[in-house]
Amino acid sequence: MKMLLAVEPRAYREAIGLAIENLRPNVEVSVSAPEDLISEVTRLVPTLVICGLPESSEEVAAWVELKSPQGYWQKATVRIRDHRFELVNVQLDDLLFIIDRTEEAISADRPPKNRYGRDVSGR
């Protein structure tokens, strides 16, 4: 699975990218400056985008918008396929959870599940 990480500051995206590469070696992680996001999505065709911007491509299987009004990620709006949910106080384990649910959804072509094994679509 290909993932594009485009968050600020640069040190965050590089450190998080390395952590994800180490913890999920099956994920091909690319990092990019947020201003290059659109061109990198077109060039790389990632399965998952994690960034600080609202979704701009429905061609991507999963999109995460991290919101950081006070310098840390207080909230994330997540879309995996047609299923949307939000997370608060986002940490690395939340990003790993999103990666796992994205892989699950694309491999089985079914709705992703939350941490409790329930379908996030509410069915």
pLDDT digits (tens, 9 = 90+) for 73-97: 788 999 998 899 999 989 999 999 9
Read off the tokens for 67: 């919101």
How far apart CA 8 and CA 55 sit, in angstroms, is: 17
The three-state secondary structure class of 15 is helix
> Taking the model in full, what pTM does it have?
0.83
pLDDT digits (tens, 9 = 90+) for 18-69: 999 999 999 999 999 999 999 999 999 999 999 988 887 778 999 999 987 5
Residue-range domain boundaries for the chain: 2-108
* The pLDDT value given to residue 55: 80
Q: Is the pLDDT of residue 123 over 60?
A: no
The top-level CATH class assigned to 2-108 is alpha beta
